[in-house]
Amino acid sequence: MNIETTAQTEKSNSTATVPAPKATLADFIDQNSKLVTSVAAFVALTAFSLQIENPEIKLYSSALTFLAAGLLALELWAKLPSLPYHWRLTAFSHVLTILMFAMAITGSQNFRQCGSHRLRILY
């Protein structure tokens, strides 16, 4: 009876000390490939819509596609696994954050240019 209890205790202690495997970037992308692809598609649409010559179409299409990309990126951030995860996954989340902020800054600059052009037309 004593030997069985000791064996069970050792078995439960050995499983408790095994650290959980770190989440990797490849696993994360495999699990969320459709969402990653959707974010990339809307980022590309935003970049494309910023090249349109008509200022009103440029303004609204770039704003809407950026909003969609931002919402999908937030969903992607929400699906990040809990710590610990691999450094590549950390780098991916930081690059995604920087990309969204850079697009927001670029979009706000273009919004001001389109807005000032629209005001000149009205007055």
The pLDDT of 107-114, averaged and rounded, is 68
Could you tell me the residue ranges of all domains in the chain? 24-122
pLDDT recorded at residue 87 = 87
The rounded mean pLDDT for the chain is: 78
Q: What is the DSSP string of 40-60?
A: HHHHHHHHHHTT-SSHHHHHH
How far from each other are the two terminal CA atoms of the chain, in whole angstroms? 94
pLDDT recorded at residue 54 = 85
Give pLDDT tens digits for 20-65.
Answer: 678 888 888 999 999 999 999 998 998 898 888 887 788 888 889 9
What are the CA-CA distances from residue 109 to residues 4, 37, 57, 103 (Å)? 72, 26, 16, 10
The pLDDT of 77-96, averaged and rounded, is 85
